[in-house]
Amino acid sequence: MRLLLTISFMLLFIGSIVAQPAGRRSKSTVYSASGEWQKITLQPAASGSSTPSAPVVQPNPSASQPNNPTSQPITPTTQPTESVVRTEPKPASTAPTTMPSSGFRPAFTGDFVTNRNGWKAGNKGDYNYQIGMGRYSIRKRKASTRQVAFSYVSLPNDINLNRDDAFTIKVDVMADSGRVPTGGLLFGVKDSLNFCAFTLNSKGETSIIRVTNGEAYGDYMPGDFFAPGVPVEKNRDRLTIRRNKESLSFYVNEQEVRGSPYAFKTLPGNGVGLITDASWTTFQKLTVTVGTSPSDPPPTPVSLPVTRPTTTSRSASPTLTTATNVSTVAANPPTKNDVASSTSALVTATRPETSANKPTNITFSELFADNQNKWLVGQTGGYEFEVAKSSYFIRKTSASTSRAGYGYINLPTALDLNKAESFTITVDMIVPPGIQPNAGLVIGVNDEDNLCEFRVADRQKVIVKSLRNGLSSPTYMPGKPIPARVPINQETNTLMIQKRNKKLYFYVNNREVESSPYEFKPFSGNKIGFVSAAQAVKFQNLKVVK
């Protein structure tokens, strides 16, 4: 009897396996590796299928209907991360999204349909602020007022204009029919005394200004209105600000204005806003996006003619290279992490694709990643000169030496300081702890007896000197230590020399020294470099912008 029951059980088990429908058979597992911004999903696929392009067939939950399965494409159970920037809100897609190579781009949108972001509204001071119908309108309530309408909000935590090395801010500015809009963008806002602004006036001129503690500085975004060199329309204009690493570019109607880009410097805050002093101004389509987009119009790098040096003397011409991956010219030196270690000098000309007639900004940047530009190295005249660790070192080797040490190179022909209507030269100068600063820049150098020198003499004084045949003039850059009247740090200082309006300006840490400016007089040469009488000093991030 037991044997009969065992045989019957075995027969029933084998029969159930044979009768199992094909749709219920076990299947192999196919692993599908999705894009960077999507999670990995698992899809069951029929083994031995002769039609690989057919949708995967999900098993029918009902075992009683094996011959009539229900089929549909399998979609991920989790939505892909929403990281494509859109200027207008769109419903989330249920299908996997192909992400652009630029990566995650969080966006802030001032749609002005509602006041969800907390903009200034109602009657405030001498202006009325009104939000609705996708517009932010600002009207002057008192015609004689000298107040400026100023409204801003803080950006969300996932957008940080100082941390993010690429961002775009846009807004449309509108005026009464037949008039050029007046007003523009606020960015990097901390409060009404610390902010940056990019604005238009009724004459079609633009202004780029940085205000710190209620004051603007003439050496960086001074705030003067100027002809932008691009068309400005009546009724409506779009203002755009783009950061790309260490450069900050400004556009009117997607055409880069004259003088752009500027060096990116740490912004006072993380707010954005709007400003105007017109009788009526309306703003639309304010957006802030992080990252770069294929639709962004970057300037086109253009290499300049170059003759490679054949000598090793300190007066040899620098090696010029064009970085193929640079989309904008930085008006401030990029950090060593931003540039390949094999590239120590970069000369490019910015020429926006949208404006063939725009003046170019020519930039020379020395990062001291190597010595391609043939700086003086070794020991001579009581000093040791060395290019190392992204710096140019000058160390005193003889305590008895009374002369200063000089190291310099030729600038490229395209950066002729005598022919340039304006230029800016900056460098970071660092001395060891406990060492008195006594070093600086030399420009317009022919040799050590014919040059222009700007040196920090100590914590209180600077030296501005012009030498011709080894002699200085008692009435023009005499070369005597004079009070700087600006703060000089113990270890790190940024020196800057600017030429504009036929004058030379001298700055320490973005503050103009007491004796500046001086009348510009033609230099004896076109070399640039450094001077030191300190025990040790190093220079970093040398930048020349014409």
CB atoms within 10 A of CB 523: 18
pTM: 0.41
**429 in Cβ contact with 456 (< 8 Å):** yes
Distance between CA atoms of residues 447 and 286, nearest Å: 54
- Indicate if the alpha-carbon torsion angle 77, 82, 86, 89 is positive or negative: positive
Identify any residues that bridge with 274 across adjacent strands, giving them in sequence order. 151, 185
β-strand pairing of 135-140 with 166-174: unpaired
Give CA 314 to chain center in angstroms: 32
pLDDT 10s per residue in the chain (546 long)? Answer: 566 666 666 666 555 554 444 444 443 333 333 333 233 444 444 444 444 444 444 444 444 344 444 333 333 333 333 333 333 333 333 333 333 444 446 688 877 988 988 999 999 999 999 999 899 999 999 888 888 999 999 999 889 999 988 999 999 999 987 889 999 999 999 998 899 999 999 999 999 999 988 888 766 888 888 889 889 999 999 999 999 988 999 999 999 998 889 989 999 999 999 999 999 999 999 999 998 766 666 543 333 333 333 333 333 334 333 332 323 333 333 332 332 222 233 232 223 333 334 345 678 989 999 999 999 999 998 999 999 989 999 999 988 888 999 999 999 988 999 999 899 999 999 999 888 899 999 999 999 999 999 999 988 899 999 999 988 888 899 888 989 888 898 889 999 999 988 899 999 988 888 888 999 999 999 999 999 999 999 999 999 998
Distance between CA atoms of residues 245 and 7, nearest Å: 80
- Indicate if the alpha-carbon torsion angle 470, 473, 476, 480 is positive or negative: positive
Tokens 């349909």, residue located: 113
- Residue 350's nearest CA partner among 465, 248, 451 is 248
